[in-house]
Structure 1
């Protein structure tokens, strides 16, 4: 009871910005209970709010390493380790935590999701299985495990989990959205009627959007473009109302990103070599795969992952976390204006050191590691400065195809430009201009790879990529059987397992009459 009063008082002070008053209470609490972890976690939170990111991260990680975590605080520990991008610490904690069975099944499921996101797939499956075993009928546990199954390519198992909860009081909009994505719907087997009925019920706006995106996907599969467009328009309008895209803010940000970051004057490395003079002992060579979302980055990473010396890290925040550490500044997105202003003054050796220090739980002895976060295209200047030995692969795709591919997907709120035709055209213009700037500033550092070439002539295109990365190529790299066992934690986890094909080329044309404003907006750039 006394600790609960302290928590309320601390929360009250923090909510009012009175951080010093909150610290006074923490001092008293820790004097009485010096080995309790909760006051240390709260102190780290206050340091983060006070603009001391590095100190907050160090305190949080030390507390988790050195002190016992009671089950009621386990979820807070997992969330904090994710926030601080402490992937190795999270994997170690989840592997060694002695009280997993005492956690609420929902907390076990959320831990499984966090582990899946950092590439600890076997550990994630173990936690997901434990959650379902503890609560077989729980919707969150089943849907989270279905998502992990989908990432692993175990689509039958994913459907089996969803079948246990959809149509019951434990169903969720996320479950229906996932169900729609697991296979191509047909006239004889679809969920259109169920989705339309669910959309008649009172719903949270986010749940309504998920159901509308699911309905669009199924109607699109069935070729009913008129009804599909209505569902997509409703979903995007709702998402844009919740998280509007700010044209002026992005223009300011992209202008700041062009400021010089004191890149080394050395000429770009030879991309036919297997190592670089700039590589340091013990470091792997990073391969940054960048571009717009839905541009083919997952397919290219899958091909690279067939090489025995390559570890595919997937979409990770390791680079932005290294920037936060070097700047002693936290931003919740890839980059914001305050962090962009600090880039020219950062210690880029420290950026590299922090980046290379994280991820050993998954990387092992790999000589090359992919970082497939598409929006890292914004940070090519930083990459050139901190990682002159890196390879940067830029996926390009037909503007109409890539913009429509973004429009039709449900993205996290941080990706706000995908919900309207005008916003998509605006963001595409900023992206195209920034990539042209990087090519002019660092000739030869970035290899452009056209998606259309990758799916039309995958052998020659992949050979060119492997040569650029200094990797030995063989013609089996384009065989999906070589990467079928790999977990793919992106929106492309289903289609990336099929044979390389051109099915997505020109896909926008079925919706051409509604997409005409987008075509005009892109053409005016």
Structure 2
């Protein structure tokens, strides 16, 4: 003991210890105040100071975890927060921060276990209730998020972020009226909040110009750059289109797309080059070698992959199928791409690149299958089939088909012009970077069309092709045909999919609560003049738009 080693009187030792503890508490308080100001340099210095005096300080490692989180170093943040829990298992703040980093790293099963373990600790912490709920939402677990968001708002009812998160979750769960009330309250509190205007505009079809006029006043008074007005542009475009004011609507859609493009630093050749690499790599010869003959570790569940370009009816098809008693949905996961990247062994911050495709194509495909099934296992319900619906999995159809010989693969197809325009007017925050420029959209669609033809030639009837226009104009017949191809008997619930209460976290989360309609069929013709260059581009590539 220090006291015995230096012959320090106990009274003096206790006083020195108390002084040091008070000093460390002051440093901790300073760090937390600095964190609120995003002054991470000061937080870092405080963490270092605490750990210098106490190398096993849970608080010191917690502050260091916050620093690494702010610096977007998830691996280092995970290490720090895990150390906190090793030192003090009661630190629920570290547990929820750690779960957030697990989500960032797509370690969803570990994140869900951690939140479940610490949920009961959060009853008096609105901040960490909200964070835990947001982690659930990020993992497509809106139903689990809802009570946590509700509790956070009960504890602190006037926090705009908490209210907005609750409203967004309400939309995912089909609680549209509740979401409307929250957004109306938020906009009364802060009429200038553009993201809330955008979310509010999506809740229903506009019938008058009241909200449009309000948004225009906000926009006119704004001194922000166009890139900071993107959500307002999309909201105005949407409501003006609702009122059939086509030209005005397009002008706002174009303003939004141009604003995104101006700050995105995007090159279309990155995406088209990836498609060409996939076509060159995933050949018939590749498909026929090393078939997945090894048993997978998760058995008894048959995957159904629903994919295609966004806004082509993937969510509608998912809702129809998941309304069947033998089918459940795990929503939109990125697990196919995650496992392909991981098994490639290529280290890169890019989501997917040419080297990864080349490398993973040479790996044992059963590793991909087992890796995927192990990742989704925690999400599976007690049904024979489960749906993974992520539009851009169309890139990986060959890998999916090879890894899962018995999987159903459903690709949605829609009129090219309607497809492109529906993407153009959607804020994807900011996925599908090719969708914010009509020229890039045309270029990408041409490449996508080549890829689809490639998969169709390789897989034939195994690739189930669903036409959006046929589905919305002849719902029952098309639904019966789809169920037959998937190997399911007809159930009336598949026709009444709008009664399905399951969460939907896609751009169509509001529309899926409605009956099937054909309002969007041939909608592009209302904008034919503005879309003429896109049509010319597709025509020149031999893609029929009529």
For normalisation by structure 1, the TM-score amounts to 0.84
In the superposition, relative to structure 1, how do residues 256 and 65 fare at CA in structure 2: closer, same or farther (>3 Å)? farther
Is 1:514 the counterpart of 2:535? The answer is no
1:229 is aligned, of 224, 240, 250, to: 250
Q: Cα deviations across residues 327-383 of structure 1 (Å, max 9, x unaligned)?
A: 345656652333223221233322222211123443122221111100000011211
The runs of 5 or more residues in structure 1 that have no matched partner are 16-24, 270-275
Corresponding position of 1:429:
446
| Distance 1:311-1:264 versus aligned 2 partners, 3 A rule | same
* Corresponding position of 2:507: 491
Which residue in the other structure is 1:208 paired with?
229
Residue number among 190, 202, 218 corresponding to 1:198 in the alignment: 218
Say which structure is richer in helix.
Answer: 2
Aligned residues between the structures = 497
Match of 1:162 in 2: 183
What is the match of residue 488 of structure 2?
A: 471
CA RMSD of aligned residues (A): 3.6
Please, which of 359, 379, 383 is the counterpart of residue 362 of structure 1? Answer: 379
- TM alignment of 1:126-525, pairs within 5 A: 126-169=147-190, 172-187=193-208, 190-200=210-220, 201-203=222-224, 207-258=228-279, 259-260=281-282, 263=286, 265=288, 282-329=299-346, 334-483=351-500, 485-525=501-541
Measured in 2, the distance between the counterparts of 1:141 and 1:130 equals: 10
Q: Say if 1:30 and 1:453 are closer, same or farther in 2 by CA, change over 3 A.
A: farther
| Equivalent position SS for 2:299 | coil
| 1:33 has 2:49 as partner | no
Q: State the Cα distance separating 1:460 from its structure 2 match.
A: 2.2
Distance 2:443 2:525 in 1: 20
Larger relative contact order (CA 8 Å, sep ≥ 6): 1
Pair member with larger Rg? 2
Equivalent position SS for 1:288: strand
Q: Tell me, what secondary structure is at the counterpart of 1:449?
A: strand
Contact 2:77–2:98 (Cα < 8 Å) also in 1: no
User: Which deviates more, 460-469 or 302-311?
Assistant: 460-469
CA positional deviation for 1:124: 0.4
Shift of 1:231: 1.2
- Cα drift, residue 302 of structure 1: 0.3
Separation (CA, whole Å) in 2 of partners of 1:179 and 1:42 = 33
Q: Is there any run of 5+ residues in structure 2 with no aligned partner, and where? A: 1-23, 542-546
TM-superposed CA distance for 1:244, in Å, is 4.1
Task: Tell me the secondary structure at the aligned position of residue 389 of structure 1.
Answer: coil
Q: Structure 1's 245 and 460: CA in aligned 2 closer, same or farther, altered over 3 A?
A: farther
Write the distance in 2 (CA, Å) between the matches of 1:87 and 1:61: 16
CA deviation after TM superposition for structure 1 residue 458, in Å? 1.7
* Deviation by residue 1:474-506 (Cα, 9 ceiling, x = unmatched): 2441213442x1111001011122111211100
Q: Which segment is superposed worse, 291-300 or 464-473? A: 464-473
- Structure 1 residues 162 and 474, CA gap change in structure 2 (3 angstroms): same
Shift of 1:184: 0.6
**Offset at residue 311 of structure 1 (A):** 1.4
State the distance in 2 between where 1:40 and 1:254 align: 41
